[in-house]
Amino acid sequence: MKISAIKELLKAEVICGEEDLEREVYSACGSDMMSDVLAYVKDQGVLLTGLVNSQVIRTAEMMDMVCIVFVRNKRPTEEMVELAKEMGIVMLCSPKRMYEACGKLYMNGLNGNGATV
């Protein structure tokens, strides 16, 4: 699925990385606990979270994720946006809740690749 499709499905706003919206991703995970992401998530391209701090960006970078979707209208700080730009990570903000956002992506073909978080 292209990141642009995720943007449309989740009615999300692009915060940074607009130049990479046509990039393909094949799986996603949703968590507000970065320790769970580090411990259990493998080969995920998209992270959905409501947690707003720089650890989210660093975790995504460590796990080779290319897109972060902030749910529940959460907004990253300017420092987070700059860090994501440096790391080449697309950031989106969606008004959807985590449960609905994950379900919508799953129902449209983006899977969790067998990971449980």
Residue 90 has pLDDT above 60, yes or no: yes
Distances (CA, A) of 49 to 55, 57: 12, 11
Tell me, what's the pLDDT at 75?
A: 95
Residue 114 pLDDT more than 90? no
The overall pTM is greater than 0.85: yes
pLDDT value, residue 56: 95
Fold of the domain spanning 3-107: 3.40.1390
Q: Which residue would you say has higher pLDDT here, 19 or 45?
A: 19
What confidence score (pLDDT) does residue 25 get?
93
List Cα–Cα distances, 70 to 14, 30, 75, in angstroms. 10, 10, 7
pLDDT exceeds 90 at position 98: yes
> Domain extents for the chain?
3-107
